[in-house]
């Protein structure tokens, strides 16, 4: 599992870990029942505090993405396709808010923004590109 931490980011390290693990689960790269690295091992690999990895795993568990068992470790929890879709829509909505704000500041109309989005979406049709 490749987790990349940016020390230059405003996002706390535990959130960076949490978001990257969520993304792996949502994309299906981590599947139900897959074991996550122990908090200690992940902390060692990333050269961060175990408290930080513990916080990330606690947040993932609270949000229903993983299950943790004392003495056994943490495992990916089964999540429904609807939950994955809802999580994706929430993330997309945040990104679209940022795009809309920047478009307004640059004087770009909603129609122009919509056309750009349509072009980008069609350029990346799910045919392997």
CATH number reported for the structural domain that contains residue 69 in this entry: 1.10.10.10
For the chain, residues with pLDDT lower than 70 are 125-129
- Residues 72 and 85 reside in one and the same domain: no
- Residues 60 and 110 reside in one and the same domain: no
How is residue 64 written in tokens? 């229903």
Length of the chain: 129
How is residue 21 written in tokens? 């693990």
Total number of domains constituting the chain = 2
Q: Can you give the pLDDT at residue 126? A: 63
Structural domain containing residue 114? 81-123
The continuous run of DSSP H or E covering 56 comes out as: helix 50-62
Q: Can you give the pLDDT at residue 93? A: 94
- Give the angle subtended at the CA of 85 by the CAs of 94 and 83, to the nearest 5°: 110
- Residues 71 and 85 reside in one and the same domain: no
């Amino acid at each position: 599992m490749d987790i990349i931490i940016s020390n230059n980011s405003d996002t706390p390290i535990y959130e960076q870990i949490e978001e990257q693990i969520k993304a792996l689960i949502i994309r299906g790269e981590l599947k139900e029942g897959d074991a996550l690295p122990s908090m200690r091992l992940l902390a060692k690999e990333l050269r961060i505090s175990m408290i930080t990895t513990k916080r990330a795993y606690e947040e993932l568990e609270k949000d229903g993405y993983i299950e943790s068992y004392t003495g056994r470790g943490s495992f990916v929890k089964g999540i429904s396709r609807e939950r994955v879709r809802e999580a994706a829509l929430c993330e997309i909505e945040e990104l679209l808010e940022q795009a809309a704000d920047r478009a307004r500041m640059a004087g770009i109309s909603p129609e122009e923004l919509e056309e750009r989005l349509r072009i980008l979406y069609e350029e990346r049709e799910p045919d392997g590109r």
